Amino acid sequence: MSNKVKCFICGTEFEGGDSLVDNCPYCDWTYLGWENELDPDDKETSNPVTIRQAKKLFSEGKNIWGEPLPPRN
């Protein structure tokens, strides 16, 4: 059963939380559910950048891969 989860990076709500790989449909961050326990400068294996780097990219209008974000609907 899927739940609504909120992306730790961009705040997008999406169905997830019950799979090992739940990628945000907007910024592509892989939702872990325990991001609050991570150091913002530590890189874990599910994402290519740290939380701090991902938030910086998002503030620049980019996803976690450095590509431009699509317009919000």
Name the region of 33 (left: φ>0; alpha: ψ -120 to 50; beta: rest): left
Question: What gap in Å lies between CA 46 and CA 2, rounded to an integer?
Answer: 20
Residue 73 lies in a domain: no
| DSSP sequence for 48-73 | SS-HHHHHHHHHTTB-TTSPBPPPP-
Number of domains forming the structure of the chain? 1
Write out the residue range of the structural domain in which residue 32 sits: 3-59
pTM score, whole prediction: 0.88
Residues 27, 54 contacting (CB under 8 angstroms): yes
pLDDT tens per residue across span 7-62 = 999 999 998 877 667 999 999 999 988 899 999 999 989 999 999 999 999 999 99
Residue 16 lies in a domain: yes
